[in-house]
Structure 1
Amino acid sequence: MEHFIVSARKYRPAVFKDVVGQQAITNTLENAIENNHLAQALLFTGPRGVGKTTCARILAKKINSDGNEKEGEDFAFNIFELDAASNNSVDDIRNLIDQVRIPPQVGKYKVYIIDEVHMLSSAAFNAFLKTLEEPPKHAIFILATTEKHKIIPTILSRCQIFDFRRIGVRDIKEHLAEVAKAENIEAEDDALHIIAQKADGALRDALSIFDRVVSFAGKNLTREAVTENLNVLDYTWYFQISDLLLENNIPQVLVTYNDILSKGFDGHHFIMGLASHFRDLLVCKNQETINLLEVGEQVKTMYFEQSQKTSTQFLIDGIDIANTCDLKYKNSQNQRLLVELCLMQLASLTFQGEKKNSNNDGRFVIPPSYFKSEKFTSEKITSAGSIVPKSIEKGEKAKELSEEIEITNVSEPSEELSKESIPSENNNSEENPDGSEPQKVIERPQILAERNAKKVSALSLKSIQKKQEIKQEMVANQPDAENLPSNEFSEEEMQAAWTEYTTSVESDGKYNLLSHLTMGVPKLDGSIIHLEFPNQTIKTEVERAKYELLGFLREKLQNYDIDLDITVNETVEKRYAYTTREKFEKMKEMNPMIEKLRKEFDLDI
């Protein structure tokens, strides 16, 4: 069996121009060699797998090349690689210093590449300081590390620092395409793009993943094979979920999410991917930001098509809801339910069947129509949330009533009611056996309408309209202006009528209005009754009952010139409770001996 060499070693760059994604650093090093400006101590820092050690080897070979060397000469005698992770003691550094003093036998420079230099101990760093600052002319030190912050400042100040960056997805994908071509492998563009994204900026990781996927899929590298082998959630799931969300299809969204979980994917990973998907759709909606989308051309077309079907507001709200779910996921006791609730909220963003509540802090209510079961098919749900059986739905008056007024306590009529109060149509025109007038027949919908005529909810626009109609009806029922009486009355008569009205209010159970009307004493000035309240809220409550109150007083006192003048005086204060100290002071005013009693027995208040 032939020995296999991994792609990361087989295709390691041999010259600076082959290094991927580090153009600025390679150009700097080449110019420094040509102009003889190369420092004697270099520090290469950056993430794993971005070319630090590769550039160090290329540099070591290039500075010893004079054009007369043999082809393939690697100057191995002049290049010393030291792993600081296993050689981090003071003795190891002393041995290195002893070797530095010996000049090279081949070439001009000895190059010492110290990898993972941050692993050196503090004593080793201090022992290395003098040699690093003033090395022999034939020695060059190249330090490589992934954690620059762990190196002591005295070392950093003696080195020329080169920061290697993460390699872009596009650069990794292009390099993988060259490797696939060299290996005679047919690879889809989307498949290479997924590998590049999974590598997270490290080319060595990308080549390792490439080898693994090729072992799984063979010479034909497809997107499906890559997603299956890497356990990556295919982006087609996100497109499918987004379409269902735009259709407000909550049941199918939950079924699709269950399919995703059954494939072994984590809910947290899914919700983070969904937020990123919404972000990519938002990026596609503007030509200025479309370059931020790092996907293949085929996928970019799919993103562009779906972005045309979504609104900007939907995507912004969707990102916000998904991000909130992401933040709450780890602390949630029922993580699946959290994600499902998030999906139901997303599916309700574009729902137009019901108006959203403006006071819900940006949260969206799930449309109740999605949760109807078959047992409700014979009943009608009104806008107020009440259920109207079919037996009542037939009447037009009941239909209007179900839309405008909340219907409660609807039940089937008892036998007594069905026999006495609701006789059949055939008996409507017949006289009673005793010769009296026929009983007036009242249909059940009409009974319900009369029962609820005064029962108006204040939670809808229709209820406000209904109250306005009642108020207009009361004004219209006033007697003719030409025949209105205007008898004179005294303040005592007015007070008596006022007390009588408050008694009727109390009997009706309107205790809140009763407390307002008995809060102060009304004062009479001609035909104007003046009322004074401590705040605007009480004034508003009394003004709501103004028409009924005026109607009672005008009829009782036989004077239709009576009117109310309601004002607010914030200085007026009515105290309903007293503190312990206030109670004691009041008692002391009534009986000063209480203070002597307190002092005698040393009592606390």
Structure 2
Amino acid sequence: MENFIVSARKYRPVTFESVVGQQHITNTLKNAIKNNQLAQAFLFCGPRGVGKTTCARILAKTINCQNLSPNIEPCGVCESCLSFQNGNSFSIHELDAASNNSVDDIRSLIEQVRIPPQSGKYKIYIIDEIHMLSQAAFNAFLKTLEEPPSYAIFILATTEKHKILPTILSRCQIFDFNRIRVEDMASHLASIADKEDIAFDNDGLHLIAQKADGGLRDALSMFDQIASFSNRNITYKAVIDNLNILDYDYYFKLTDFLLKENVAQTLVIFDDILANGFDGNNFIIGLASHFRNLLVGKDPTTLKLLEVSEGIRQKYLQQSQATSASFLLSALNIANQCDLNYKQSKNQRLQVEMALIKMCHIASAINLVNLPVSNNDSERDLKKKPDTLISETESPKQNVENTTPKTSVTSNEGIENQPLKKENDGPASGDSEAADLPVEPKAVPVEKPKVTMPKPGLVTSSLIPNLNDLTVKSEVAESDEPQYISGDAKNAFSNDDFLKLWHEYASKSKAAAKLNLFTVMTSNPPVLLPDWKIEVIIENKIQQDLLILEKIDLLNFLRVELKNFSIDIVPKQAEQTTKRRLYTSNEKYQHMVEKNPALEEFRRHFNLGIE
């Protein structure tokens, strides 16, 4: 059986033109070769599988090519190109720094650099994973990297530029490789599929490119895997089955049920996803990405940001028109919060289900907020009652027709003579039809004040309550509610009553854990002064500030209980009494010198100190 070569090796680019998605780097390198402006060291940085080592090999082969094409590409037929392709070139050396990272390996490399090339113009060293070198190896490499021989060129490659010493970075020309775009990757996979006679559909190739996350080598590995799985027929269904990817249709159906507020079907779909072996965290992340794509797809100018196939893009465009931006933003916020709390949650499935239930009710919440509220609804209801309102459009001389069957008023004189018909009144004379109708008892208002009919000739646009009824109701309400004392009240009270309330408030403060206030109120008894002033002794600034903070509540309590709103609190600073303290040695000595001055002369004579 013929040996199989994976697509990542079989279709590895051999010219600058065949490099996928890195035109900004290949054009720069070609111009440098054309203008003979090659640096002594290059550093290629970027994610895995984007072409760093491939470009390094193409650059090395192109530099030593003896027959460059007009577009600065290696010929592939000269002695240098053939020896490089066969792997026996003496001018191009590759070193894996991951396995040769000691200082001895770098010293051996430096010894080889001193030897001129046997064939070709340059001796090129490609060092892959340069960030794996040890600190000593980096230091040993510095001098040679900065001032190599004229025939030596170093091409370094790494996926982690931040781990390389700044002194190394400053000696290299740095090229940052980009992640390969999904469109470029899908197009490259399609060309390989045509060469290999593999059937495919564009949706499947786009899904492989998205799963590769910008790395072409990963995409080619998945391409080979799915080609074997599907018997050389790469379809969208084969890709999602083999790579264990959540189908777009799940998210589209789920969004439709969320918009319809169908909680049951939403939870059923989530259960089906879990039954297929998918993780809840991956599901919620994918759902958030789906909402993001819908938000992006609402504007034609941002539709190109969707890295999906044309068929899926049209689905996004169609569903984005059926969803509002407010719904998508709210759903994104809920999904993001669920993603943050997922790992810390004890019941992770419930965490996702609660997020889905919240999303189902977003539409109702938005409609409730946008629901128009009319202030005239109650007025419309009241206008139907003839005993409460007169329409603004009615004039005094217009006929007024009562909507109730009990009475009929045809003129303003009728209103004056018969303002309201009482319950025990019979029908008007001559009104036989009204007399035959049963008289309905009039409802007695209990909660609302009675509204009287205004005089004819007056037009009103609001309800005018009966002041007598309001007075009666206010008196009834006052009997149930707490009594409030007038601000001018100055009832007299005794000192004992005052002290009793004072200590009662202090006890409440102690029960409320206000121990400092309790100390201020009980350490020094308050003194009742003339004009209802209360003098409180305070000992320091802290007690004064504490009393000021509590003064309002304390005064309200005393004024209401004693029915005297002239009560006021006056803080008074306690008199500072001189307290006895211990004398220092110096103070004791000065006191002794005052009594016997010869003691100072004695101390000086013998040069004594004071302890």
Q: Spell out the pairing of 1:307-322 with structure 2 (5 A cutoff).
A: 307-322=320-335
Partner in structure 1 of residue 237 of structure 2? 224
Q: CA–CA distance in 1 between the matches of 2:370 and 2:317?
A: 32
Q: 507, 521, 524: which one pairs with 1:583? A: 521
The answer on whether the counterparts of 2:450 and 2:466 sit within 8 Å (CA) in structure 1 is no
The residue that corresponds to 1:97 in the other structure is 110
1:189 aligns with 2:198: no
Is the counterpart of residue 7 in structure 1 residue 7 in structure 2?
yes
Cα gap change, 1:521/1:209 in structure 2, threshold over 3 Å: closer, same or farther? same
Q: Distance in 1 between matches of 2:519 and 2:21?
A: 80
Alpha-carbon distance change, 316 to 143 in structure 1, aligned in 2, over 3 angstroms? same
Report the CA distance shift for 1:173/1:353 in structure 2 as closer, same or farther (over 3 A): closer
User: Which position in structure 2 is the counterpart of 1:543?
Assistant: none
Pick closer, same or farther for the CA change 1:343–1:111 going to 2, 3 Å. same
1:435 maps to what in 2? none
1:155-214 superposed Cα distances (whole Å, 9 cap, x missing partner): 111111111111111111111111111110111101001110111111111101111111
> Residue 120 in 1 paired to residue 58 in 2?
no
Closer, same or farther: CA 220–518 of 1 in aligned 2, 3 Å:
same
In structure 2, relative to structure 1, the CA distance for the partners of 1:233 and 1:480 (3 Å cut) is closer
In structure 1, list runs of 5 or more residues that go unmatched.
359-445, 455-466, 485-497, 506-512, 525-574, 596-605
Taking the aligned partners of 1:229 and 1:504, their CA distance within structure 2 comes to: 80
Q: Residue 251 of structure 2 corresponds to which residue in structure 1?
A: 238
Is the aligned partner of 1:159 residue 2:209?
no
TM-fit CA distance, 1:133: 1.3
Aligned residue runs from structure 1 range 61-76, under 5 A: 61-67=61-67, 69-70=78-79, 73-75=82-84, 76=89
Aligned to 1:263: 276
- Please name the residue that 1:52 is paired with: 52
Aligned partner of residue 308 in structure 1, secondary structure:
helix
Residue type of the alignment partner of 1:122: Q
What one-letter code is carried by the residue in structure 1 that aligns with 2:99?
A: S
CA distance 1:480–1:134, change in 2 (3 Å): closer
Q: Does 1:295 align with 2:233?
A: no
Q: Give deviations 1:127-176, integer Å, cap 9, x for gaps.
A: 11111111112111111111111111111111111111111111111111
Alpha carbons 1:89, 1:123 under 8 Å: kept: yes
Tell me which residue corresponds to 1:602.
none
Q: Distance in 2 between matches of 1:169 and 1:309?
A: 27
* Residue 58 of structure 1, CA deviation: 0.6
Q: Which residue of 2 aligns with 1:281?
A: 294
Which residue in 2 is equivalent to 1:23? 23
Structure-2 change in CA distance of 1:268 and 1:357 (3 Å): farther
Change (3 A) 1:354 1:133: closer
Cα separation, 1, equivalents of 2:118 and 2:139: 29
List aligned pairs for 1:177-576, cutoff 5 A. 177-351=190-364, 355=368, 469-470=448-449, 472=451, 504-505=479-480, 513-514=481-482, 517-520=483-486
- What residue is the counterpart of 1:40 in the other structure? 40
- Letter of the 1:171 partner, please give it: D
Instruction: Give the conservation status (yes or no) of the 8 Å contact 2:123–2:152.
Output: yes
| Contact in 2 for aligned 1:61/1:74 (Cα 8 Å) | no
Distance 1:20 1:502, change over 3 A: closer
Identity, in percent, stands at: 57
Matching residue of 1:130: 143
Cα 1:501/1:585, change in 2 over 3 Å? farther
Distance 1:196 1:94 in 2: 42
Task: Tell whether the 8 Å contact from 2:179 to 2:215 is kept in structure 1 after alignment.
Answer: yes
> In structure 2, what is the equivalent of residue 176 of structure 1?
189
Query: What is the CA distance between 1:355 and its match in structure 2?
Result: 3.6
CA distance in 2, matches of 1:160, 1:71: 25
Deviations 1:98-152 (A, max 9, x none): 1111112221111111111111111111111111111112111111111111111
SS of 1:104's partner is coil
CA distance in 1: counterparts of 2:305 and 2:478, whole angstroms: 74
Could you tell me how far apart the structure 1 residues matched to 2:338 and 2:154 are? 50
Q: Secondary structure at the match of 1:351?
A: helix
Q: Which amino acid aligns with 1:212?
A: Q
Query: 1:18 aligns to what SS in structure 2?
Result: coil
Q: Residues 357, 326 of structure 1: CA spacing in aligned structure 2 closer, same or farther, 3 A cutoff?
A: farther
Corresponding residue pairs, total: 416
Distance 1:309 1:503, change over 3 A: closer
Alignment of 1:143 with 2:156, yes or no, is yes
Rate the CA distance shift 1:201–1:353 in 2: closer, same or farther, 3 A.
closer
- What residue number does 1:528 align with? none
Q: Corresponding residue for 1:551?
A: none
Q: Is the 8 A contact 1:88 1:119 kept in 2?
A: yes
Structure 2 portions without partners, runs of 5+: 68-76, 372-440, 453-462, 491-504, 510-516, 529-534, 539-611
SS of match in other structure, 1:81 = strand
Write out per-residue CA displacement over residues 278-297 of structure 1, whole angstroms, 9 at most, x where no aligned residue: 11111111112111111100
Provide the C-alpha distance between the structure 1 equivalents of 2:520 and 2:140, rounded to a whole number of angstroms.
81
- CA distance 1:224–1:584, change in 2 (3 Å): same
Q: Secondary structure of the residue that 1:17 maps to in structure 2? A: coil
Code of the aligned partner of 1:28: T
Q: Give the C-alpha shift of residue 476 in structure 1.
A: 5.1
2:182–2:206 Cα contact (<8 Å) kept: yes
Letter in 1 for 2:32: A
SS in 2 for 1:140: strand
* Matches of 1:71 and 1:151, distance apart in 2: 32
The letter of the residue matching 1:30 is: K
Once structures 1 and 2 are overlaid, which stretch shifts more, 134-143 or 345-354?
345-354
> For the Cα contact (< 8 Å) 1:50–1:204, is it kept in 2?
yes
1:327 aligns to what SS in structure 2? helix
Q: Is the 8 A contact 1:118 1:151 kept in 2?
A: yes
Is 1:111 paired with 2:124?
yes
What is the one-letter code of the residue matched to 1:180? Answer: A
Supply the distance in 2 between the matched residues of 1:122 and 1:151 (Cα, whole angstroms): 10
Is the contact between residue 65 and residue 81 of structure 2 (CA under 8 Å) also seen in structure 1? no
RMSD: 3.4
CA–CA separation in structure 2 for the residues paired with 1:130 and 1:586? 85
Task: Provide the residue aligned with 1:565 in structure 2.
Answer: none
Q: 1:353 to 1:97 in 2, by over 3 A?
A: closer
CA apart distance, 1:472? 4.5
Which has the higher Rg, Structure 1 or Structure 2?
Answer: 2
8 Å CA contact retained: 1:45, 1:146: yes
**Cα drift, residue 53 of structure 1:** 0.6
The secondary structure found in structure 2 opposite 1:114 is strand
Q: How much does 1:30 deviate?
A: 0.7
1:351 Cα shift? Answer: 2.6
Matching residue of 1:552: none
Q: Is the 8 A contact 1:245 1:347 kept in 2?
A: yes
